[in-house]
Amino acid sequence: MKDFHGKVAVITGAASGLGREFASTAAGLGMKLVLADVQAKALEGAAEELLDGGAEVLAMVCDVSKGAHVQELADSAIARFGSVHLVFNNAGVGSGGLVWENSEQDWEWVLGVNLWGVIHGVRVFTRVMLECAARDPDYAGHIVNTASMAGLLAPPAMGVYNVSKHAVVALTETLYHDLALVEAPIGASVLCPYFVPTGIARSHRTRPDDLASEEGITASQMAAQAMTEKAVQSGKVTAGDVARITFDAIRDGRFYIYSHPQALRTAEERFAAIVQGKQPADPYAATPELTGMLKAALKPRRA
């Protein structure tokens, strides 16, 4: 997909972080915007700002973990703009801690947004886009699913998040092959950002009451939260940078999109260990201070 002007972009998690920057970049390219988020006030603010800038905007409060909400989003996009060309399945939340300490509610919440949100986006919008392509012989579309470097690595104390993002990578690779199988005029990419300054470290503010954990917060969860906040806020690559990198990748038809390609060295070590049948490689070998921070937080306190 190379021509963006006048085309329609659907963005989930659009009120802040990467989603907000995707929307701003798309608006600058003359795209019509369909914005979705669970944060009603923040979404309203983002929509008003983009409207003031001259963009055509449809904003909807949408919980991507619910298939009916995503279907309503797609139906509304078609009703308003008649077509959909670019979809960012971007909404995501973060959660950490030792994997056996995560509650059932933790798993349901994170997988609901990070994985089921992408599943619903792919299931609903791919069909919509194929229908659009059937009506327009010049149609070109693209789907970008936001995963993470945690979809290629398996850092400690991030189990729930790792599982969700590994699944998004696998889902998107399969989507790519399936679209090629039917020769659809729709591209697919998976975005794997590393530590980028966004609000994901504070995503618990969007956690629904019915999925509040019935177990108290543990030392490992507090340590993982502190580590994530520190690493994210120290990131030098901004959300705006990632949006620019992503749109360049869409133009070039690239599947894998990285914010920090230097982190692939650690991924190579992981894959080499898999191929060679070795023990899992240390994902924090290049940043031992992060492992040290976690270990210090989990060390039993002496009386």
Catalytic positions = 161
User: What is the side-by-side strand order in the sheet with 141-146?
Assistant: 57-61, 32-37, 8-12, 86-89, 141-146, 186-192, 256-258
CB contact at 8 A, 76 and 58: yes
Please say whether the beta carbons of 91 and 36 come within 8 A: yes
In whole angstroms, give the CA distance from residue 233 to residue 77.
34
Which is nearest to 76 in space by CA: 88, 64, 59, 90?
Answer: 59
Burial 215-231 (b: 16+ CB within 10 A, else e): eeebebbebbbebbeeb
Q: How far is CA 289 from the centre of its chain?
A: 26
Structural tokens at position 98: 């030792």
d(CA 110, CA 152): 18
Whether 92 contacts 190, CB under 8 Å: no
Closest C-alpha among 90, 93, 271 to residue 189: 90
Q: What is the DSSP letter of 302?
A: P
Is 257 in contact with 191 (CB distance < 8 Å)?
yes
Sign of torsion, CA 132 134 135 136? positive
